[in-house]
Structure formats: C-alpha cells, structure tokens
C-alpha cells in the first residue's frame, strides 16, 4: 500500500490517505517541535509521496502550526485544493475571555474565522470538535457547525476525544434534525491504549464514523527506542506521558514487537503501526514526525503485512480490561445463540439452558 491508495473517510465521499500527517509537532513553541523549515520539508515529503490529509488544531503551538501550514501551502491554490486540511476548535487563545474557547456558537464561529486566517484558506475540509465541552448544549454546537457548513467555510465535521454516548447523541440529533452528520472520530488508539474498543470503536462503526487514531506510538513509547535494560537511565522526551507507560507489561510487549519486527525484517514502530492499521474501523492513523527520517520510517509501515498469527500474538499480549458491559456483552452469545454459529462466531452452550426437549417446560 502507499499514501496514494486513498480510502473514504467514514460514511462520506471524502477520500484521504491511509496515513494522516499530524501537525502538532509544527513549531517549537512547546519546546520539542520542528522548526518552520523542517516542518515545510515534512509537508513537502508527505505530499510528494502522495499524501493528502493533514491534521492540526487552533491551539497547536499557540496557533503557529496552522500558520506554518497556511504560509506553506495556502499561497498555492492548486496545492491547497488538492489537500484535505483538518483542524480543530476548542482551545481558548485569549486568557480571561470565557467565550474565547469551547463549543458555543460565539466561540465556534470566531475560532473558525481565526483558523481560516492562519491557514490562508477560505474553507476547512474537516472541522473537529477537539474535546467535549460539557458546559455547552450539544444542540447549540451542532447548529453552529451547520451554519459553517452551509456557508461553505467547512466541508465536513467530526468529533475528537468525546464520550461515545455524547457522539451518538450528536449523530442521532443530526439525523433527525437534518444537520450535517459527523463523518469521523479522532481518538487515542494504540497497542498501549485499547480501552476505546469497549464503547468508542463499536459506536463509530455502527454510526458511520471513520476512525483516525492519534498517539499510535504512544508518544514514542512504541517507537523501539526504549528497552527494559535502559529503564530509568534516560528521561523520555515527552515526559510523564511516556515514562508512565514504560511498565513491565509494556516492556514485554516491546520485546514481542521486536521479535515480530525481526520476522518481518522491519522496525518495532512499523509493526506497531501495521497492527493499528489492521484493526476494524481504523481509516487513517495520525502520524507525527519531528524529522524527515521519522516521517519516512513511519510511512514504511504501509509496506508491512502482518500475518493473522502475528496480529493475534500482539492483540493477546496487549489485551485490555474493558469497562462493563463490554465483556458481559461479548460473553452474552451463550444466552441467545443456542450453541449455533452465526456470522462466523460460535456460541458457547449455556449450561443453565434446557439441554434437551425433555428439560424444557
């Protein structure tokens, strides 16, 4: 597979690359990003390889991420129109102003105008709600997004980092009121973050949302550069987010990833990304890079084809403890399958059910 083997995003006609270029690393304002020059080279390399999907947010590097993208591709209309540029609203860029951020009508419309200015464009292809604003009625948020879509300033909408029940409420509301529907869900998902498989992923698949995972390498914890023998010797570049993830279970998983990487003649990071790409509902994982070398290494994951046995080994080694009722629902087939096989799944026989006609009242 390559970046120009495009896929449709959710229940829509929007075609995107199988890897999305994350732009949270564009700009050095947070202390660990890429310079403007390097960010531009990363954009160029991604486009040269056939990529068309770039994801940013109004709050990334204090707005500089959007500006870097706009300054580089916004001046060439042909390049800009070929790209699917996604950004997010929510971050408050004006301390002391309670309406400077959030998902209210006033905030959404003003944030959109500011993003359009920084991106040097007159429309946003995919506009995300960055996180659920529990202080704003979802009806107001969806109505404001409808205004932006009908005005032509936004083409498609999606939600990021929002509980499954709230996403489902918004999508149902859109269905019955005729609002533009959500086409995508952005959530953290990786071999080290699989609790989303309990509610969010089944919800997204049921409601037609393409999944674009962020943090596919858990901030670098799955990059392959951390080993058990070096534990505690170096401070991870992303701080506690990575340090807290480097547990005995993680090191065991990394050792398995290394074994499979050797089997496939590739790298640990590529195997971790290939596993994610193979998961049901995943459309376009978001890969971030601070250097061209990191970008090229991540893109090479598109060439990694894991066997069913390798996928199973990784899934078993990283199996999460899901919240109720996920496990109960999964085991519930024994109550209603009657020991038959349906859609390829064999149901266990419930020992408390009648085992013969004579036992049934």
Looking at the annotation, which residues are catalytic?
Answer: 60
Rounded to 5 degrees, what angle do the CA atoms 330, 334, 335 make? 105
Phi, psi of 261 (to 5 degrees): -60, -40
* Cβ contact 114:124 at 8 Å: no
Please tell me whether the peptide bond between 162 and the residue prior to it is cis, using omega within 30 degrees of 0: no
CB-based contact 205:262 (threshold 8 Å): no
- If phi over 0 gives left and psi between -120 and 50 gives alpha, with beta otherwise, what is residue 9? beta
Report how far residue 141's alpha carbon sits from residue 150's, in angstroms, rounded to the nearest whole number: 14
Residue 125, helix vs strand vs coil: strand
Pairing of the two strands 345-346 and 341-342: antiparallel
> How far is 27 from 39, CA to CA, in rounded Å?
7
- Give the residue carrying structure tokens 């914890």: 221
């Amino acid at each position: 597979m390559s970046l120009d083997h495009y896929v449709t995003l959710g229940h829509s006609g929007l075609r995107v690359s199988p890897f999305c270029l994350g732009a949270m690393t564009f700009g050095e304002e947070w202390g660990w990003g890429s310079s403007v020059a390097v960010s531009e080279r990363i954009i160029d390399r991604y486009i040269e390889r056939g990529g068309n999907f770039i994801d940013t947010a109004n709050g990334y590097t204090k707005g500089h991420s959007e500006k870097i993208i706009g300054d580089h591709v916004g001046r060439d209309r042909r390049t800009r129109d070929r790209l699917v540029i996604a950004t997010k609203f929510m971050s408050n860029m004006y301390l002391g102003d309670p309406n400077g951020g959030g998902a209210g009508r006033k905030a959404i419309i003003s944030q959109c105008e500011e993003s359009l200015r920084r991106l040097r464009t007159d429309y946003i292809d995919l506009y995300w709600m960055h996180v659920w604003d529990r202080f704003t009625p979802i009806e107001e948020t969806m109505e404001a997004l409808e205004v932006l879509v009908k005005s032509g300033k936004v083409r498609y909408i999606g939600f990021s980092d929002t509980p499954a029940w709230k996403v489902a409420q918004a999508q149902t509301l859109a269905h019955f009121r005729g609002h533009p529907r959500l086409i995508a869900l952005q959530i953290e998902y990786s071999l080290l973050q699989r609790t989303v498989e309990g509610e969010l992923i089944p919800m997204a698949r049921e409601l037609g949302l393409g999944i674009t995972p962020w943090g596919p390498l858990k901030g670098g914890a799955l990059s392959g550069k951390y080993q058990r023998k070096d534990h505690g010797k170096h401070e991870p570049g992303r701080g506690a987010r990575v340090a807290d993830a480097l547990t005995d279970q993680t090191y065991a998983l990394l050792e398995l990833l290394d074994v499979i990487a050797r089997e496939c003649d590739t790298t640990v990071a590529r195997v971790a990304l290939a596993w994610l790409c193979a998961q049901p509902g995943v459309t376009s994982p978001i890969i971030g890079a601070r250097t061209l070398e990191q970008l090229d290494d991540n893109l090479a994951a598109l060439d990694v084809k894991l066997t069913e046995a390798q996928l199973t080994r990784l899934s078993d080694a990283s199996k999460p403890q899901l919240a109720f009722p996920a496990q109960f629902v999964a085991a519930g087939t024994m109550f209603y399958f009657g020991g038959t096989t349906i859609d390829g799944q064999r149901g266990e026989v419930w020992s408390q059910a009648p085992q013969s006609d004579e036992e049934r009242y």
